[in-house]
Amino acid sequence: MKKLQVLGLGLFIVGLSIFSYLPFIGQYQLEETMVEAEVKSEHQEVMLSILRPMFGETYQINFQFISDLNRLIDAHNDDLKIREAWDEVIWDDYSFPLTKAAANTPISDYPLAYFSLSVLLAIFGAMLYIVPLYRGEPEGIKNNGIYFSSMKSRGLLGIITGTYLILFYVLLYWFPAYIANLVIMVDPLSKALSGQEASQWFLYGLLYTLAILVMGIRMFRKYKGNMYQTIRTASVMFFQLAFAFLIPEILILLNKPWHDFKNIWPLDYSFFYDYRLEGMVSSGALGMFMLVWGIVLIVIGVPLLTYFYGKRWYCSWVCGCGGLAETLGDPYRQLSDKTLKAWKVERYLVHGVLVFAVLMTAVTLANYFMEFGLLGQATNQLHSIYGFAIGAAFAGVVGTGFYPLMGNRVWCRFGCPLAAYLGIVQRFKSRFRITTNGGQCISCGNCSTYCEMGIDVRWYAQRGQNIVRASCVGCGVCSAVCPRGVLKLENGTEDGRINDMPIIIGNKSVQVKS
């Protein structure tokens, strides 16, 4: 490793450490005006009275502040719950906005300085490390030492990284109050883009986009000379930056609903939720376009593009989850489980989630049009179960937090309902396949090892069979790492695409059907 790279790694760790420390600095002081500003009007009176003991009190650390806040609100709610006064219970979570408002930290005064010292420093360090990677080396596969690396083969560093990511997701989804300082830090950026204060989701979107961009540059270095990988990576970087990050913020600036035009139901599971439908229907021509475009993607876009190109057109070229997996997750792609057992679990899980999403959406739509009381309650229940179990726990905590433990496509493989839908089309009606090159396979196992979706590619390749699998996202890495030129992703005629009883070329004495 060059000195510059060591320095880069050091700066990255410093930046990350500062970033991780920032949530705990500053003082917290709650005022009545803050409650008036952050709390819904129907809760104002009661909240003002519940939180009276905290007014004027100065807290030296957010833990104490949040704990007092929650204790007071919980005590109020518990009392109501015992009396079964359900309508009066405060279901809204005010801990994040109130903590953010009460924070009195230097970050509020110098957000850009803190942003530079943490996020920008980490990016700068990462770039110092990444840009010189493989400089002066010939183009080729750069997998040397992966299984000696603690970070990349579930060693201590990998476990620490996984734990850090999991913790971050848990805070983000369920305890955002604890990272209020970080959100304050990106307020100016959010205001510049959308005119609004930042939420924890803005912070998340920003970090997510930066991760894809920085690690995308690493992909350019690592797969230098492989045009398929280069173009594909550029594509996910573009779609994340433009479609998932900038355009939605600009829409907010224009007073339109936040909308990611490349996100497709059922991955975008809330697309048919009443507030989303209302938002689109009430936003004029652009809103109608969002609705129609979304439905066109589901009904025509997915089947048609998947027919011509396979599900890769979405999963490894456009999708945000796929984008993160293919960039930030690339160092962990070899950790996916290739066993037959894992494949069985995968099929039950991923199609199970698809069924759940479809049923939930059906109930949601029925409720939307019928406005039937009982259905309304069922809808709310389903939404909260799905949001918690699938949207947050599965897609976020497990999906990304487990990168260093179970590989980079855990969510895409076991959980994503859109991947399941795309997969069904790919398996049964598509021109896409990975062609096996006659009898050239030497069963070395590089393809299977580096398949992020846990497909045992070798099993097909060594018997001369094309790989046609619902789960294949077409990342092209099996083909890249193959030392004998055996695998090629291609779109061709459906004729001969699936050959269940292949004959391996080369032996004229007997025709062996594998």
Among the listed residues 438, 441, 436, 437, the one whose alpha carbon sits nearest the alpha carbon of residue 469:
436
Residue 138 CB, nearest approach to other proteins (Å) = 5
Q: Is 445 in the site for other proteins (CB under 8 A)?
A: yes
Binding flags for other proteins, 333-372, as an x/- string (CB under 8 A): ------xx--------------------------------
Bin 491: left if φ > 0, else alpha if -120 < ψ < 50, else beta: beta
Q: Is 449 in the site for other proteins (CB under 8 A)?
A: yes
Residue 422 CB, nearest approach to other proteins (Å) = 17
Q: Is 2 in the site for other proteins (CB under 8 A)?
A: no
Q: Is 228 in the site for other proteins (CB under 8 A)?
A: yes
Q: Is 384 in the site for other proteins (CB under 8 A)?
A: no
> H or E element: which one contains 419?
helix 417-428
Query: Rounded to an integer, what distance in angstroms lies between the CA atom of residue 402 and that of residue 405?
Result: 5
Which range of residues in 48-56, 75-83, 382-390, 486-494 is near other proteins by CB under 8 A? 486-494
Q: Is 284 in the site for other proteins (CB under 8 A)?
A: no
Residue 302 CB, nearest approach to other proteins (Å) = 16
Bin 396: left if φ > 0, else alpha if -120 < ψ < 50, else beta: alpha
Q: Is 489 in the site for other proteins (CB under 8 A)?
A: yes
Amino acid at 296: V
Binding other proteins by CB under 8 A: which of 93, 150, 431, 499?
Answer: 431
Nearer to other proteins, 188 or 445 (CB): 445
Residue 490 CB, nearest approach to other proteins (Å) = 6
User: 500 by DSSP, 3-state: which?
Assistant: coil
Sequence-distant (6+) residues with CB within 8 A of 79 are none
Evaluate whether 321 touches 412 at the Cβ level (below 8 Å): yes
Q: Is 500 in the site for other proteins (CB under 8 A)?
A: no
Q: Is 234 in the site for other proteins (CB under 8 A)?
A: no
**Beta-carbon neighbour count of residue 141 at 10 Å?**
16
Among the listed residues 181, 173, 40, the one whose alpha carbon sits nearest the alpha carbon of residue 107:
181
Which range of residues in 76-84, 244-252, 289-297, 484-492 is near other proteins by CB under 8 A? 484-492
Binding other proteins by CB under 8 A: which of 480, 499, 500, 501?
Answer: 480
How many residues of this chain bind other proteins (CB under 8 A)? Answer: 56
Q: What is the CA radius of gyration of the chain?
A: 25
Nearer to other proteins, 285 or 510 (CB): 510
Q: Is 255 in the site for other proteins (CB under 8 A)?
A: no
Q: Is 217 in the site for other proteins (CB under 8 A)?
A: no
Evaluate whether 262 touches 236 at the Cβ level (below 8 Å): no
Nearer to other proteins, 313 or 403 (CB): 313
Evaluate whether 513 touches 498 at the Cβ level (below 8 Å): no
Q: Is 256 in the site for other proteins (CB under 8 A)?
A: no
Q: Is 501 in the site for other proteins (CB under 8 A)?
A: no
Which range of residues in 213-221, 349-357, 414-422, 444-452 is near other proteins by CB under 8 A? 444-452
Q: Is 438 in the site for other proteins (CB under 8 A)?
A: yes
Residues 103-142 that bind other proteins (CB under 8 A): 138-141
Evaluate whether 162 touches 398 at the Cβ level (below 8 Å): no
Nearer to other proteins, 141 or 252 (CB): 141
Q: Is 53 in the site for other proteins (CB under 8 A)?
A: no
β partners of residue 58: 29
Complete DSSP assignment for 440-499: ------HHHHT-TT---HHHHHTTT--B--TT-----HHHHH-TT--EEEEE--STTT--
β partners of residue 434: 467, 489
Evaluate whether 207 touches 119 at the Cβ level (below 8 Å): yes
Distances (CA, A) of 233 to 7, 221, 224, 400: 27, 11, 12, 18
Q: What is the 8-class DSSP label of residue 513?
A: B
Query: Rounded to an integer, what distance in angstroms lies between the CA atom of residue 157 and that of residue 151?
Result: 5
Residue 3 CB, nearest approach to other proteins (Å) = 17
User: 249 by DSSP, 3-state: which?
Assistant: helix
Residues 141-160 that bind other proteins (CB under 8 A): 141, 143-149
Query: Rounded to an integer, what distance in angstroms lies between the CA atom of residue 400 and that of residue 326?
Result: 12
Binding other proteins by CB under 8 A: which of 182, 458, 468, 473?
Answer: 458
Residue 437 CB, nearest approach to other proteins (Å) = 5
Q: What is the 8-class DSSP label of residue 177?
A: G
Phi and psi at residue 414, to the nearest 5°:
-100, -20
Q: Is 82 in the site for other proteins (CB under 8 A)?
A: no
Nearer to other proteins, 16 or 444 (CB): 444
Q: Is 466 in the site for other proteins (CB under 8 A)?
A: no
Nearer to other proteins, 70 or 149 (CB): 149
Q: Which residues bind other proteins (CB under 8 A)?
A: 138-141, 143-149, 226-228, 231, 308-309, 339-340, 431, 435, 437-440, 442-446, 448-449, 458-459, 462, 476, 479-481, 483-485, 488-493, 504-510, 512
